[in-house]
Amino acid sequence: MHRDMVEWRGQNPPPGTIMIISDQVNGDFSWDLARLQQRTRYGLFLAYSMKQCNDYLLVYFANCRWEQLLEEEEGGAPPVVVAGGELSSAAMFYCKSCNFNCQSLKKFKNHLSSYKHGMEDAITPPVTKFLFATKSWARSYPASPEHATAKIHVLWDMNDCPIPEGYDARQVRPSIERAFKERGYSGPVSITAYADQKETPVHHLLALSSSGVDFAHTLPWVHYSRMITDFEIWTRDNPAPASVMIISDEVASSKSRSKIICLKLQKFNYNCFLAYSVRPSETPLLVTSAEWLWESLLAVSEIRRHILHKCSESERVVASTGMFCCKLCFCDCKSLDAFNKHLSCKLHTKEEHRMLSHTQSFRRSLRQFKISKYHDRVGCPPKTKRMRKAPRKGFLPRPLRFTRG
């Protein structure tokens, strides 16, 4: 069924609509379908009898119960197919094993009980294993006309992909832009770098901001969520066609963690790029038009730059200062001085402490919750002589209980 759908897609370019009536749109099937959908969007309707497809990467118009669907038709149009001998001649019968098709039920039944069909089934039994249509997809495509001059937004996780030691930070933007141009993308590029910016060396901050890179100050535990929020805000003003580049190991390798951002990209139908410091062991969830290893992306430019310098000394980055934003207090600063001042001000320090203690208390409650669940399962800890003497030092005899359900 899946293979037929892939074939049909090849013969019928969008716009078009596909309806799948099956309980098996899940797991590998829906993953493959979602990836196919990322590249080429068809309207998608799903119908199921028992098991609803809950894969939220898939963008569909309707996901409804099969029986309900049939009921809705009742009393409306006259029945199309009459069961029994007389059949509408429009329907085709296919035997997928022998590549045989016919329009008559009688012929089809004869075929299925024929020696030839039995032989074919015995020699090449029907494939039961799921065949991925997208697993071997190459990852580098030239720009399509609608994306060639469209905006490109870059979300850069500086924790995962830091600036290599001894590397001139001013070259980050030109390197990224050059890599885009090589593939035919020449639209305006905006870059936001996410990290605990107190840890970023000042010369990097200055160099990057002089090339128009924006900074977002985050802390590790809100790092990813702030990135997603920012991206969502960006989408409001920048509908597709546009490209989004994500520089992050987390999005490249962790399927569960990257699901949220991949879903958003899927929904908005953006063209995607990915860069990572380590090549992921599995195919990333995101369907990309190009992928790079972070260091090779930067090094590419270094070689080119060397050549370019020989040709023209005038090659300079146009200075447009990037913005500095504290994503904890949601405070925007136009200069590095103002940003540094903010990061050391009382209000900001208070916010950081509040966040830190919140996270710590969350971890503590989670631990307590797990302990109490364990006690629910195996009973309270055995009371030993030592524990009776000093109950406060050992286990909590009756741990804090959380209401469940």
Binder among 25, 207, 328, 336 for Zn ion (CB under 5 A) = 328
d(CA 10, CA 40): 10
Binder among 326, 336, 339, 399 for Zn ion (CB under 5 A) = 326
Q: Tell me: does residue 348 bind Zn ion (CB under 5 A).
A: yes
**Do the Cβ atoms of 229 and 194 come closer than 8 Å?**
no
Phi and psi angles of residue 192, each rounded to the nearest 5 degrees, phi first: -120, 130
Kindly list the distances between the CA atom of residue 103 and the CA atoms of 24, 108, 120, 170, 327, in Å, as whole numbers in the listed order: 28, 8, 21, 68, 65
Q: Tell me: does residue 98 bind Zn ion (CB under 5 A).
A: yes
Q: Tell me: does residue 59 bind Zn ion (CB under 5 A).
A: no
CA angle 363, 368, 373 (to 5 degrees): 125
Segment contacting Zn ion by CB under 5 A, of 139-147, 316-324, 344-352, 366-374: 344-352
d(CA 66, CA 25): 14
Segment contacting Zn ion by CB under 5 A, of 81-89, 96-104, 266-274, 391-399: 96-104
Q: How far is the CB of 278 from Zn ion (least distance, A)?
A: 31
Q: How far is the CB of 191 from Zn ion (least distance, A)?
A: 21
Segment contacting Zn ion by CB under 5 A, of 11-19, 109-117, 182-190, 295-303: 109-117
Segment contacting Zn ion by CB under 5 A, of 1-9, 150-158, 173-181, 322-330: 322-330
Q: Tell me: does residue 329 bind Zn ion (CB under 5 A).
A: yes
Q: Tell me: does residue 196 bind Zn ion (CB under 5 A).
A: no
d(CA 245, CA 254): 17
The size of the interface with Zn ion (CB under 5 A), counted in residues, is: 9
Q: Tell me: does residue 97 bind Zn ion (CB under 5 A).
A: yes
For 63, the 3-state DSSP assignment is strand
d(CA 404, CA 290): 46
d(CA 285, CA 135): 10
Residue ranges in contact with Zn ion by CB under 5 A: 95, 97-98, 100, 117, 326, 328-329, 348
